[in-house]
Structure 1
Amino acid sequence: MTLQADRDQTDRDQADRDPPAAPARPGRGRARRRLLWPALAVAGLAGLVAAVALGPVTVPPADTVRVLVGADPSDPRWEVVIGTVRLPRALTAMLAGAALGVAGLMMQTLFRNPLADPYILGVSSGASLGVAVFVAATSAAAFGGSFGSGLVGLGRIGAVGAAAAGAGAVLALVLVLSRWARSSVTLLIVGVMIGSVTTAVVSLVLVWTDPRVAQQFIVWGLGSFDATNHDDLAVLVPVVVAGLLVALLLIKPLNAMLLGEGYARSMGVNVRRVRMLIMVSAAVLAGAVTAFCGPIGFIGIAIPHLARSLLGTSNHRVLVPATLVVGALTALACSIASHPMGTETVIPLNVVTSLVGAPVVIGVLLRGRRTTAGAV
């Protein structure tokens, strides 16, 4: 009881030192949201049209709209370009941005750390380990091993499955160890340590891998929305939707945890159960995106702060849906930027997300308590 009382007192002291951001004036906040949601809807529609119309070959806007509404375009090629390549890529970007943004928001609230991201529990490192093992087995197939040859035949399915298995294994380990974690801070350190060990194992695996095959792992690590198809979306969509629904159901506990676990307990929140649900939901969202797209940096850190700045509030009732939409739009914009018009050049996705996300994170650090108060 003494340890628990000390932790609760620590939470209260921290809350006194770092109070939550002052809510915006009700009239101003409602007016801002009335303008914001229509603007986001228009931006989303414009972004989707731009994503499927722009690229190495520009599709006429009229034909783009025709394909999107199910009508026949003037040139049958446009239907193939949009339906087979660009529309799946755009939908994948929107799903990934929404998933990583919401997962990052939950992690920042759980750990009360403005720099927490969806991969803080080692999920990305676990997915990387799975893909590294898959790549190593692919390299071993050069020696004629039947097992390795079978993995080579699996191709992309094998890589996605290996990434999902690695992320799931690390998540299971974190969940087991979380039973002995007395606080979210302890759990945060455990996750970071597991991620570090897993990254070290990845490096060891790649040391004994054929360099030509290991290059596939490096390319995967750059992140991409380009490789998904309709079959992939049939798996990715329900997984992401399920994770987002859990996040929406956790809005009230997330608001209670803004002032720390001690305050949340005083409000009747089962902190251990909520912590577990947040971890599982965030890990599923981040793991699914990583399996299909590779590790995508900065979106999970930056998007929650962008949403807070736009809305001027830390209320998750508004913040979770806004983070979902802003994340989808930002990832869609990054996808468009990674495919410059009129050229076959493809800019690595993580290069674009770093250019977008790093200034946001720097701004958070420089602005200090006013920006981060809702997450600490």
Structure 2
Amino acid sequence: MQRSPWIIWPVLFLALFVTFLLHLVSGPVDVPFGEAIAALFDTSGEGLGTQVIRKVRVPEGLTAVVVGAALGACGVMMQTLFGNPLAGPGVLGVTSGAGLGVALVMLASAGASLPGLSVDALVVAGASCGSFGVLLLILWADRRLQDGVSLLIVGLMVGYFCSALISILEVAAGAEALKGYVLWGMGTFAAVGPDRSPLVFGLLATGCVLAMGTAKPLDAMQLGETYAATMGLQVSRTRTLVVVLTGCLAGVATAFCGPIAFLGLATPHVARGLFGRSDHRFLIPATMLLGSILALLCATVVRSTGPVSALPLNAVTALLGVPVVVWVLIRGRRWMRMG
């Protein structure tokens, strides 16, 4: 059943605002709600709470918003492209490919940089190339197999293969490089500081805007490539655009925040359930908003557990994502008939 978007949109924006405020006041340093709000507008405040809000929690919260939106966009584009409700950066091995790219930079090269390129730039390039390469492989397998279950198996095998290569790199890596990679693998939104935020926000925001532009082509592709072609859509061009977009978005998000791609799998199904339709003009922005909300909730849970015993972010996102995967398996393919 279709629901009025004029009711759902205000609720989603309100939920995003509330979860952002909840993130600001949660953590080992107790900051009253009033002080947290004042810290957003008072640039002269020097108190501990004000500094924590402005220098730690606001950047981390904004990172969660942007990364959650990017991973949500990845998920909905991949599910439509492959016609598979379980397609996502994590399930199809895209995150593993990005992780392998990061491992090659952090472990094999021991963090060495090339002339004119910083280590951060190399990490982003490695993660994007890894995710893009896996996406090309999955796209080729999808054309050859024409079967959703077989495609998922291929994705899992690619993930296992990348994990095996990463394990070999870990054995050969030095102690400091290995420590850095292990910490990266736990996932965090706190690694994007003021020096990195322009690069990360710029890349992900650009990718999200481009993802919004794929709404009409993806609507046509939902009805089959043959029908889309008769409507004048350049199917191969659309596939290439979606592959490049998802590869870059997943690569950048994974490079800086770790393997947290379960957000991209869970949020599209929640969006479909809320709107009761598969119109990508609603689905893509709704998935982005839900991705931001879930990312903020995950970040709040991690921060609330304390600085010493904090839960790994990728574990928290998986705990939210696994029930969604089970729910999709139980429902079967009825999601495709929505709208």
Residue 130 of structure 1, CA deviation:
3.2
- TM-score, structure 2 length as denominator? 0.87
What is the root-mean-square deviation of aligned Cα atoms in Å?
A: 3.0
Name the counterpart of 1:40.
12
Q: Which residue of 1 aligns with 2:320?
A: 356
Distance 1:282 1:245 in 2: 12
1:221 Cα deviation after fit:
1.2
| Deviation sequence 1:286-318 (CA, Å, 0-9, x none) | 111011101113111100001111111111011
**Correspondence for 2:242 among 260, 272, 278:** 278
Residue 50 of structure 2 aligns with an amino acid whose one-letter code is: E
For the pair 1:101 / 2:72, whether they are aligned, the reply is yes
Does the 8 Å contact 1:54/1:341 carry over to 2? no
Please give the per-residue CA displacement for 1:175-198, whole angstroms capped at 9, x wherever unaligned. Answer: 877997783857968876655544
The counterpart of 1:151, out of the listed 100, 108, 112, is 112
Question: In the alignment, what sits opposite 2:23?
Answer: 51
Please give the alpha-carbon distance, in whole angstroms, between the structure 1 residues aligned to 2:144 and 2:300: 37
Q: Equivalences for 1:1-376 in 2 at 5 Å? A: 24-25=1-2, 29-30=3-4, 33-70=5-42, 72-73=44-45, 76-119=47-90, 122-137=93-108, 151=112, 158=119, 160-170=120-130, 173=133, 183=143, 195-210=159-174, 213-340=177-304, 344-373=308-337
C-alpha contact 1:222 1:349 (8 A) present in aligned 2? yes
Counterpart Cα distance in 2 of 1:309 and 1:102: 16
SS at match of 1:126: helix
Q: Determine the C-alpha separation between the residues in 1 that align with 2:294 and 2:144.
A: 29
Shift of 1:227: 1.4
**In structure 2, distance between residues paired with 1:116 and 1:182:** 11
Q: In 2 relative to 1, CA 67–135 (structure 1 residues): closer, same or farther, beyond 3 Å? A: same
CA displacement at 1:367 relative to structure 2:
2.0
Distance in 1 between residues matched to 2:140 and 2:87, nearest whole Å = 21
The 3 A distance-change label for structure 1 pair 363 and 215 is same
Whether contact under 8 Å (2:129, 2:251) holds in the other structure is: no
Unaligned runs of 5+ in 1: 1-23, 139-147
Q: After superposition, what is the alpha-carbon deviation per residue over 1:100-156, rounded to whole angstroms, capped at 9, x for unaligned?
A: 011110000000011111356654333322332344357xxxxxxxxx5x739x9xx
Q: Which runs of 5+ in 2 are unaligned?
A: none
Q: SS state of the match for residue 266, structure 2? A: helix
Distance in 2 between the 1:176 and 1:312 partners?
31
CA shift for structure 1 position 38 = 1.3
Matched-pair contact (CA < 8 Å) for 1:106–1:282: yes
- Distance in 2 separating the partners of 1:343 and 1:194: 34
Cross-structure match for 1:17: none
Residue 185 to residue 34, structure 1, CA distance change in 2 (3 Å): farther
Percent of paired sites with the same residue? 41
Deviation string 1:141-175 (CA, Å, 9 cap, x unpaired) is xxxxxxx5x739x9xx62x3343222333356468
Letter in 1 for 2:18: A
Tell whether the 8 Å contact from 2:187 to 2:314 is kept in structure 1 after alignment: yes
| Alignment: residue pair count | 332
TM-score (norm 1): 0.79
Distance 1:121 1:163, change over 3 A: farther
Secondary structure in 2 matching 1:310: helix
How far did residue 218 of structure 1 move? Answer: 2.3
State which drifts further: 41-50 or 123-132: 123-132
Amino acid at match of 1:39: V
Q: CA deviation at 1:271?
A: 0.4
Distance 1:175 1:343 in 2: 36
Q: Deviation at 1:344?
A: 4.4
Given residue 151 of structure 1, which amino acid in structure 2 is its aligned partner? A
Instruction: Give the distance between the partners of 2:211 and 2:105, measured in 1 at CA.
Output: 32
**In 1, are the aligned partners of 2:272 and 2:278 still within 8 Å (CA)?**
yes
Identify if the C-alpha distance between structure 1 residues 182 and 86 changes in structure 2 by more than 3 Å, giving closer, same or farther: closer
Letter aligned with residue 250 of structure 1: T
Residues 136 and 209, structure 1, Cα contact 8 Å, conserved in 2: yes
